[in-house]
Amino acid sequence: MKVIYMDNNATTKVAPEVVEEMTPYLSEFYGNPSSMHTFGGQVGRKIRQARERVAGLLGALPEEIVFTSCGTESDNTAIKGVLSAAKNRRKIITTRVEHPAVLSTCRDLEHHGYTVAELAVDKNGRLDLNELQDALDDDTAVVSIMYANNETGTVFDIDQISSMAKSKGIVFHTDAVQAVGKIPLNLSQSSIDLLSISGHKLHAPKGVGVLYVRKGTRFSPFMLGGHQESGRRGGTENVASIIALGKACELAAASIEEENDRIRRLRDKLEKAICATCPDAMINGDIEHRLPNTLNVSFEYIEGESILLLLDKFGICASSGSACTSGSLEPSHVLRAMGVPFTAAHGSIRFSLSRYSTEEEVDFVAEKMPPIVNKLRQLSPFVET
Ligand code: PLP
């Protein structure tokens, strides 16, 4: 059965060009990039090229790129690294809709005596910037607010938010794991101090990430060890994956504008078809400010998991907005923070497209959805038939 992969916010296919670029560094060129010999030195040069490619996509300087093991490590490093450098400030500002990589880190720090302000969002997942302004005070060490939400695709106004933090002399971090490679960024013209990336969200392999650290940012390393990454992240480099991420960034930079338009058109087509054919479908997120690839839709009175199981029978891969906690299905913290009614949050599905998504796939999913929704509604104890 053909797989129709619409779960690209969970992970992406490694691009064939990326596989080709990284493969020799798993077999032929196995030297340590820190070695003095020529054999290792050529690997070091390739890592420098990867650093330049990542910097190129971000509009950053190569020396501002620190390779890590994943987006989660980058988020942890950013927040803890700033706190340990800013000894006299004890407060973190974040939002209720962050990925657990940020939210769990902040909540854990709260148990260690730090103060955490979690900003609320409205029903469309938007922040109230007055609430942020009120929260910025002399005790705040770091503001960590995601660029784009992984569940709904809502994109925050990070230019404005980072400027607000900067005007108060507060370090600003953004988890841009879902944004990089999907929407253009230019860090040379922003007030972002730290930014997290994950390789597997932009067609590189799992197990590699980046933390961008603006030159001059007060920051202590999280992973102590050797002098790798200019002393900012110890540990022998994951060479092949770093090279892969560099290539993935180069590919994204070359096609981001046209792919954006194409993917948005496909996503909008799917959204329109679902809304036209499935009664009581409701789009979650900020329709005006959304990643072009993400569609989060709720169907009242049915469970997202049941939809996923029926889609799976046709080879269609998507995600639901619930997580299994202690044997029961808990609606996502993001949809709950947005105040999405319980009955709709339970029935939410996320489709996330990529540059490999096709119009035929969208048409196929659009055709399969109405009978699935109708069938589940007929079985639902909450719907009168
Ligand atoms: N932040 C966001 C917004 C994400 O969507 C994810 C992964 O889903 C992460 C962080 C974690 O990235 P990684 O899987 O590389 O640790």
- Cα–ligand 1 centroid distance for 385 (angstroms): 41
What average pLDDT does the chain have? 95
Q: How confident is the model at residue 330 (pLDDT cuts 50, 70, 90)?
A: confident
Give residue 70 CA to ligand 1 midpoint distance, Å: 8
Does residue 243 have a pLDDT over 90? yes
Q: What's the CA gap between 31 and 25, in Å, rounded?
A: 9
Ligand 1 neighbours (beta carbon < 6 A): 70-72, 75, 99, 101, 146, 150, 175, 177-178, 198, 200, 209
Which of 177, 206, 241, 350, when mutated, tests ligand 1's pocket best, judged by the most ligand atoms within 8 Å of its CB?
177
135-193 pLDDT, tens digit each: 999 999 999 999 999 999 999 999 999 999 999 999 999 999 999 999 999 999 999 99
CA of 10 to the centre of ligand 1 (A): 8
Tell whether the model's pLDDT for residue 237 goes beyond 90: yes
Q: Residue 40 has which token pair?
A: 């290792």
Rounded to an integer, the average pLDDT of 250-271 is 97
Catalytic residue (one of 70, 278, 317, 324): 324
- pLDDT at residue 347 above 60? yes
Taking residues 100-112, what's their average pLDDT? 97
- Tell me what pLDDT residue 87 has: 82
Instruction: For the full predicted model, state whether its pTM sits above 0.85.
Output: yes
Residue 324 known to be catalytic: yes
pLDDT value, residue 248: 98
Task: Reduce the secondary structure of the chain to three states and give it as a string.
Answer: CCCEECECCCCCCCCHHHHHHHHHHCCCCCCCCCCCCHHHHHHHHHHHHHHHHHHHHHCCCHHHEEEECCHHHHHHHHHHHHHHHCCCCCEEEEECCCCHHHHHHHHHHHHCCCEEEEECECCCCCECHHHHHHHCCCCEEEEECCCECCCCCEECCHHHHHHHHHHCCCEEEEECCCCECCECCCHHHCCCCEEEEEHHHCCCCCCCEEEEECCCCCCCCCCCCCCHHHHCCCCCCCHHHHHHHHHHHHHHHHHHHHHHHHHHHHHHHHHHHHHHHCCCEEECCCCCCECCCEEEEEECCCCHHHHHHHHHCCCEECEECEEEECCEEEECHHHHHCCCCHHHHCCEEEEECCCCCCHHHHHHHHHHHHHHHHHHHHHCCCCCC
Q: Which atom of ligand 1 is nearest to the CA of 11?
A: 8
Cα 380 to averaged position of ligand 1 atoms, centre (Å): 34
Q: What tens digit of pLDDT does each residue of 280-325 get?
A: 999 999 999 999 999 999 999 899 999 999 999 999 999 997 665 5
pLDDT at residue number 83 = 97
Condensed to tens digits (0 to 9), the pLDDT of residues 113-130 reads 999 999 999 999 999 999
pLDDT at site 383: 67
User: Residue 40: what pLDDT?
Assistant: 96
Measured from the Cα of 209, ligand 1's closest atom is 15
**Cβ atoms of 29 and 176 closer than 8 Å:** no
